[in-house]
Amino acid sequence: MGGLLTLGQMLGVQARLQGERIGAFDLERRMSFAQWEERANRLANGLLGFGLAKGDRVAVLAYNRIEWAEIYAAAAKAGLVAVPINFRLTAPEIRFILEDCGAAALIAEDRLLGPVEEIGRDLHIPADRLVHLGAGRVPAGWRGYEDLIQAAAAAAPGIAVAPEDPWCLMYTSGTTGNPKGAIRGHRGMSMLAMMTRVEFGLRRHDEALLVMPMCHANSLNFFSAFLFGGSAVGIFSRPSFDAGLCLRTLAGTGTTFTSLVPTHYEMMLDCRARAGGDFGRVEKLLVSSAPARAETKRAVMEMFPNSGLFELYGSTEAGWVTMLHPDEQFEQLGSVGREVVGSAPIRLLDDAGQEVPDGAPGELFSCSPYAFDGYWKLPEKTAEAYRGDYLTVGDIAVRGPGGFIRLLDRKKNMIITGGENVYPAEVEAVLAAHPAVRDAVVIGLPDAKWGERVHAVIVPREGAALAEAELLDWSRGRLAGYKRPRSCSFLRDEEIPRNATGKVLHRVLKAQLAATLGG
């Protein structure tokens, strides 16, 4: 075992030490650590019974539900590689992932069979390795998930799984083209789990409510951390975010921690008066994936009076990179904090690979013992991501006083207008401060004179009246001339393309608007 337990082995430890305690639950079902261990063992044995071998990839297409806990644990125990697929993807996008990873089996929820059926004959997975998850009728030729579990042995499979072995293959959101598969190994995930418990001060009695999709790195990372320390893992089992239900769940259970994006918090604040409830048990909240405004943070802290608010920056490839702690929220507004525990000092480099001075923008490189193991079948992309032991995903940042890091934007989202570099996130943060703006997205559109022009896409607050001229005039004095939007359009929130975590897909939005709003 190399002196480090895998997550599958750690579940066995928890089942032995505290088997009767609740280990995992969703909004419909609860199971103890002992029950979780047995079902994970049975699923692992059932998958191996298909003829799968160590290292084979098992793709999973499902909404949030408790079975994710069983599937991830079963893959860890069997030496298989879980490939979580974003349930928002289209059939061609799903087909790309299945073909790229060479999936040997597929577990799919009944409510998501449409894209699988659309792929049809292009699905190069044997029919007897298709597993149907859910209460609906099992399609002809498929195996029922529960049937598979009940028919398999309850003892742990006799597969030697080493810390160096891969556990998950997580495909990036594909904001700049086809997604890349990021290989996450047992060693890195176990080390990230331990670091997360230290950074957040997690204890055994803590209880997570995982709202972000279980196919995403955010929930996988916290799933691992809570399992590793023997804390209960709760999964918000709904296809989409329901702010009122989330609030009622936080008030009515023993949840002490949850991780949400700013949009989720805004939605909960909007319905707080109607939801009611006591949130005194919630002790730790995390905001990630996008910056939150000061007024949002203050309102959240008022709604959860006993909770500390953390802010985190990370990526599928790097894991956690920086953390802003509760006592730093307003002293370092706009920052994502400093390096997390166990990381080497962040490096900000220019295009020549030289360190930039404090206050100057540079590409962010991080170094930690829990970074990913490379891109699947893309050694050249893996090499491009590293400079020595330091890893980048193309984010641009500046370092301020005290070493606090402020993100500007993705390098590939950068707008070049009249020879000047504009980082959309910087402009978005300014526009979002307008009292009538609920959300702002900034993209570059073709411009005959400037090459690209800065264009703002605005989601107004409910009931607010806002005209283009008013917003453009408001930005004067708040943004340098070359950063100010030259044009503006208004959309509803549901019209903004986002990935599974709510992060805006700038490339997709740009493509949608370029034809009608181009130069």
Q: What is the predicted pLDDT for the residue at 426? A: 79
Q: Which two tokens stand for residue 251?
A: 């008030």
Range 1-19+29-185+205-221 has CATH code 3.40.50.12780: yes
Q: What is the predicted pLDDT for the residue at 480? A: 76
pLDDT mean over 102-114: 97
One DSSP character per residue, 302-366 reads: HHSTT-EEEEEEEETTTEEEEEE-GGGTTTTTT--BEEPTTPPPPEEE-TTSPBPPTTS-EEEEB
pLDDT mean over 161-170: 96
Give the start-end residues of each E strand in 76-224: 81-85, 105-109, 130-133, 143-144, 166-171, 181-185, 207-210
Q: What is the pLDDT of residues 285-311, one digit of tens each?
A: 999 877 787 888 999 999 999 999 999
The percentage of residues in the chain with a pLDDT greater than 70, rounded to a whole number, is 96
d(CA 265, CA 375): 33
State the CB neighbour count (10 A cutoff) for residue 511.
12
pLDDT at 36 over 90: yes
pLDDT at 274 over 80: no
Q: What is the predicted pLDDT for the residue at 176? A: 45
pLDDT mean over 333-344: 91
Enumerate the CATH 3.40.50.12780 domain ranges in the chain, comma separated.
1-19+29-185+205-221
Q: Looking at per-residue confidence, does 139 or 425 come out higher? A: 139
Q: Of 299, 312, 306, nearest to 259 (Cα)?
A: 312
**pLDDT confidence bin for 468, thresholds 50/70/90:** very high
Q: What is the predicted pLDDT for the residue at 368? A: 96
Q: What is the predicted pLDDT for the residue at 501? A: 64
Which of 51-55, 214-218, 446-450 has the lowest average pLDDT? 446-450
pLDDT at 518 over 60: no
The percentage of residues in the chain with a pLDDT greater than 90, rounded to a whole number, is 70
pLDDT at 175 over 50: no
pLDDT at 423 over 90: no
State the CB neighbour count (10 A cutoff) for residue 368.
23
296-to-187, 190, 282, 330, 432 alpha-carbon distances in Å? 37, 33, 17, 12, 11
pLDDT at 504 over 90: no
Q: What is the predicted pLDDT for the residue at 330? A: 87
pLDDT mean over 37-49: 98
Q: What is the pLDDT of residues 346-370, one digit of tens each?
A: 999 998 999 999 999 999 999 999 9
Q: Looking at per-residue confidence, does 419 or 183 come out higher? A: 183
Q: What is the predicted pLDDT for the residue at 177? A: 53
Q: What is the predicted pLDDT for the residue at 44? A: 98
Q: What is the predicted pLDDT for the residue at 288? A: 85
Q: What is the predicted pLDDT for the residue at 446? A: 85
pLDDT at 414 over 80: no
Q: What is the predicted pLDDT for the residue at 1? A: 41
Q: What is the predicted pLDDT for the residue at 427? A: 86
Enumerate the CATH 3.30.300.30 domain ranges in the chain, comma separated.
418-517
Q: Looking at per-residue confidence, does 507 or 386 come out higher? A: 386
CATH of 418-517, one of 3.30.300.30, 3.50.50.100, 3.40.50.1460, 1.20.140.10: 3.30.300.30
pLDDT, averaged across the chain: 91
315-to-64, 69, 81, 217, 435 alpha-carbon distances in Å? 20, 21, 20, 8, 31
pLDDT at 506 over 90: no
State the CB neighbour count (10 A cutoff) for residue 448.
8
pLDDT at 9 over 80: yes
